[in-house]
Amino acid sequence: MWKHLFMLIIFCNLVVGVCAILHLHYLWKIHRYDFLKHLALYTLLLNLAIFQLFIIYYWKLNFPAYSGRFNLPLLEEFWTFFTTVFVSGMVFSLVLVSRNFLGKPRSRRYFPWLLAWGGAMVLFFLGKHFLAAGFLKQAAVFMVDEVLDSIIILEIVILIALLAAGGKILEPAMSRLVKAFAYLYLSRHCGWLLLFALQGIPRLSWLFLLAAVFLYTNFVPFLWTRLYFAKYLGRGFKAEEHREKLATMMEKFSLSKRELEILQLILEGRNNKEIDAQLFISYHTVKNHVTSIYRKLKVRNRYQLIHLLTKKSV
């Protein structure tokens, strides 16, 4: 029963992960920020590693008779190698996200190092299984079981460095965006540390906690884009600078004066709570107006709304 529940948890997490990848790719297509593209790649690699976990547990659970016949330990080592490849790709993608946040240009010098690292991983895994006993085999076993197995720690180092660098960014909106990203992605590791510390609790409670941590891991992109990236898009919006375009939109899409007022506040990065406080109307009324604006402008969210406004013509 517990094993089937664990399988269900992994499957649900994969569904959320696919949605997160599509969400980030969608935002990148609209806004063309490279950090969104690299973050989508990071999320893809993360979920490929989770998919590997799903496959091997599914094999163990449903084909136990074949497990011994096909030498399951060697099969697990094979999957471990590809998981290490995916985790290495995640670390590299996070480096690209960080460089893009900090305004650093693309660099081709990383790719030779990336190829060299890939070749070294192949040699380490081959050495662990095919070298005769001796110093080289011990070194290969150490690299595979200790170094490569702990490569995810580099992600924590990168995020802490990004957090420190984000505090030095002069543009306040970008600084908040970067620091929020670092805090949210670091918080996922706190969840995994909590799981490790609470292994002694009842099995069912631990599985529910595992489900929460798993799902939170893939929910972080949604949280970051909704709570921080949307506000970043609305940074510095001045209604006066877009007066003519807003007037055109009001006439073309039959917006009321109140809807136009709310539209301006949305574009400035205000949420529904802030809008109802500023205009002294109920939250429910604001929500109805926002729904009406989206329907009239044929958009589904504020990302599309900002994209519509920033186009040369509406």
Q: Under a CB-based contact definition with an 8 Å cutoff, are residues 214 and 9 in contact?
A: yes
Whole-angstrom CA distances from 150 to 3, 36, 92, 297 are 26, 26, 15, 49
User: Who contacts 46 (Cβ-Cβ below 8 Å, separation ≥6)?
Assistant: 17, 86, 90, 217, 218
Q: How many helices (H) and strands (E) does the chain have?
A: 15, 0
**Cα–Cα distance measured from residue 186 to residue 193, given in angstroms and rounded to the nearest whole number:** 11
Name the pTM for this structure: 0.74
Q: What is the pLDDT of residue 312?
A: 46
CA triple 11-12-18, angle to 5 deg: 90
**Cα–Cα distance measured from residue 174 to residue 127, given in angstroms and rounded to the nearest whole number:** 46
User: Who contacts 19 (Cβ-Cβ below 8 Å, separation ≥6)?
Assistant: 218
b (16+ CB within 10 A) / e for 179-189: bbbbebbeebb
Residue-by-residue pLDDT tens, the chain, 314 positions: 666 777 787 888 899 999 999 999 988 887 778 899 999 999 999 999 888 878 877 777 776 655 555 555 666 677 778 888 898 899 999 999 998 888 776 666 777 877 888 888 888 887 877 777 777 878 877 777 777 778 888 999 999 999 999 888 877 878 889 999 999 999 988 888 887 787 777 877 777 787 788 788 899 999 999 888 877 876 655 655 567 777 888 888 888 989 888 888 887 767 788 888 888 888 889 889 888 988 888 887 776 776 676 554 55
Tokens, residue 268: 């400035």
| Long-range CB pairs of 241-249, under 8 A, 24+ apart, other chains included | 242/309, 245/309, 245/314, 248/314, 249/297, 249/309, 249/314
Q: Among candidates 40, 33, 35, which has minimal Cα distance to 17?
A: 40
Q: Under a CB-based contact definition with an 8 Å cutoff, are residues 41 and 22 in contact?
A: no
Question: Is 235 buried (19+), middle (13-18) or exposed (0-12) by CB count in 10 A?
Answer: middle
User: Who contacts 63 (Cβ-Cβ below 8 Å, separation ≥6)?
Assistant: none
Question: Is 250 buried (19+), middle (13-18) or exposed (0-12) by CB count in 10 A?
Answer: middle
Tokens, residue 271: 């949420």
Q: What is the pLDDT of residue 21?
A: 95
User: Who contacts 4 (Cβ-Cβ below 8 Å, separation ≥6)?
Assistant: 61
**Greatest CA span in the chain, whole angstroms?**
80
Whole-angstrom CA distances from 9 to 51, 91, 283 are 12, 25, 35
Q: Among candidates 298, 299, 270, which has minimal Cα distance to 286?
A: 270
C-beta neighbour count of 6 within 10 angstroms? 18
